Amino acid sequence: MSANATIVVGVPRETFPGETRVAMVPAVAAVLAKSGAQVAIERGAGEASGYTDAAYEAKGASLASRDEVFARAHVVAHVRVAGANPALTRDDARRYRRGQLVVGMADPLGEPEAIREFASTGASLMALELVPRITRAQSMDVLSSMATVAGYKAVLLAANALPRMFPMMMTAAGTITPARVFVVGAGVAGLQAIASSKRLGAVVHAYDVRPAVKEQIQSLGAKFVELPVEAADAEDKGGYARELGEEFYRKQRELMARVVAESDVVITTAMIPGKKAPVLITGQMLAKMAPGSVVVDLAAERGGNVDVTRAGETVQVGGVRVIGAVNLPATMPYHASQMYARNVASFLQNMIKDNAIALSTDDEVVRDTLVTRDGDVASAALRERLGLATATAAR
């Protein structure tokens, strides 16, 4: 595009079943305008999130049909695309074009074949899940933003399902003891679950394979559960969880069983990018929990941290309910969309130079997130997974 042309960021309505988020909100559209980008949004795209067409227009965005959004856009911003919504890629394949930049959550590690399929559109796809966890990219980290929402909502689900109150209360009818909550995994979702449980008055215990997070757990008022099991290399160089092997998880389950049995609520958050979630809690462990106890499994979409989890369903095991939570950010779309849009804007602003998009792989953020370009898979890691030659990976 010409350096003097206005960058158009197109925002289509999300098509994934149950997806209520939108990739751009009115206030952030106005921020992008200051960077030299105009937002063109599909009519009605923000309604499910609580953002009206009039609100977008008031902030300088233009309304258009879906076809018009794709035709005008230099950049297309999705919440879900490619592997995160394969049906959308097939439905919109004719609308994408070579040279167009597409950003969104694409599940590249979980669905690499979908990335290969997307490459045939000719558009350049940037998977926001792959934003490196470096200081400069914190404002672009969609996984952390959405995990914040999921961790908060998980506590509300648990509190609603639990047949007792969370806080300790001293009443004329006697003292009510607080609920005991055990959070497994102290990433962003886990830390938010800890903080939210404490706000509701629960006694909170938490565990993570990374001893370094003990201080973070304690700073939120929870007790760190010490398990005498070592986990070397629990994180990869990008700051994401690494698979540790079945023998480690077996020992972990044995040691964790007592804490699970003593808890009224267990919230599990352990996920590994591109892998099935590790099983941390078994039916035998659930059988030792008190009747009425609740487990919220935030890894349900990846197979679950509980061996009986069913994604999108609540399973009853004896007297214990196991909630297979899926896409919780879409249940709170107003603020989830707000956070996501800010991440997208920061991501794009990082590449906008002199009123044009600078897609330079010298930039670590660009290099790590760029998965397709010029009709081919551009990511070396994905090429390896797909069995493609590595010689053409670098572009």
Alpha-carbon distance 305 to 280, whole Å?
5
What does DSSP assign to residue 153?
H
In which band, very low, low, confident or very high, does the pLDDT at 251 lie, cut at 50, 70 and 90? Answer: confident
Q: What pLDDT, in 10s, does the model give residues 303-327?
A: 999 999 999 999 999 999 999 999 9
Question: 3-class DSSP state for residue 105?
Answer: strand
Q: Is 145 a catalytic residue?
A: no
* Mean per-residue pLDDT of the chain: 91
Name the residue type at position 32: L
Where helices occur in 85-134 by DSSP H, the ranges are 86-92, 112-119
For residue 383 the two structure tokens come to: 């090429």
Total structural domains within the chain: 2
- Residue 6: its pLDDT value, please? 87
Burial degree of 377 (CB within 10 A; 0-12, 13-18, 19+): buried
In a domain, 1, yes or no: no
Alpha-carbon distance 320 to 288, whole Å?
10
Catalytic member of 65, 138, 218, 360: 138
Residue that is last in its domain, among 297, 326, 355: 326
Are 203 and 267 within one domain? yes
- Residue 243: its pLDDT value, please? 52
* Integer-rounded Cα radius of gyration of the chain: 22
- Contact yes or no for 46/20 (Cβ under 8 A): no
Are 210 and 261 within one domain? yes
Are 322 and 340 within one domain? no
Q: What pLDDT, in 10s, does the model give residues 167-215?
A: 999 989 989 999 999 999 999 999 999 999 999 999 999 999 888 899 9
- Residue 356: its pLDDT value, please? 87
Are 285 and 156 within one domain? yes
Catalytic member of 38, 124, 144, 293: 144
Alpha-carbon distance 14 to 19, whole Å?
7
In which band, very low, low, confident or very high, does the pLDDT at 236 lie, cut at 50, 70 and 90? Answer: very low
Catalytic member of 133, 164, 242, 310: 133
Alpha-carbon distance 193 to 147, whole Å?
10
Catalytic member of 51, 56, 152, 240: 240
Q: What percent of the chain has pLDDT over 70?
A: 93
Are 277 and 350 within one domain? no
Alpha-carbon distance 366 to 363, whole Å?
5
Residue that is last in its domain, among 277, 302, 326: 326
- Residue 366: its pLDDT value, please? 95
Are 47 and 172 within one domain? no
pTM, full prediction: 0.91
- Residue 230: its pLDDT value, please? 57
Are 44 and 184 within one domain? no
**Residue with tokens 């559960």, as numbered in its chain:** 225
- C-alpha distances in angstroms, 305 versus 83, 302, 325? 22, 9, 11
Q: Is 124 a catalytic residue?
A: no
Alpha-carbon distance 122 to 376, whole Å?
8
Let me know the angle formed at the C-alpha of 364 by 356 and 274, rounded to the nearest 5 degrees.
115
Q: Is 138 a catalytic residue?
A: yes
Q: Tally DSSP H helices, then E strands, for the chain.
A: 13, 19
In a domain, 394, yes or no: no
Q: What pLDDT, in 10s, does the model give residues 58-107?
A: 999 999 999 999 999 999 999 999 999 988 778 899 999 999 999 999 99
Catalytic member of 92, 107, 141, 297: 141
Alpha-carbon distance 21 to 79, whole Å?
7
Where helices occur in the chain by DSSP H, the ranges are 26-34, 53-58, 66-72, 86-92, 112-119, 142-161, 188-199, 214-219, 246-261, 283-287, 333-349, 364-369, 380-385
Are 177 and 290 within one domain? yes
- Domain span at residue 48? 7-140+334-385
Q: Is 133 a catalytic residue?
A: yes
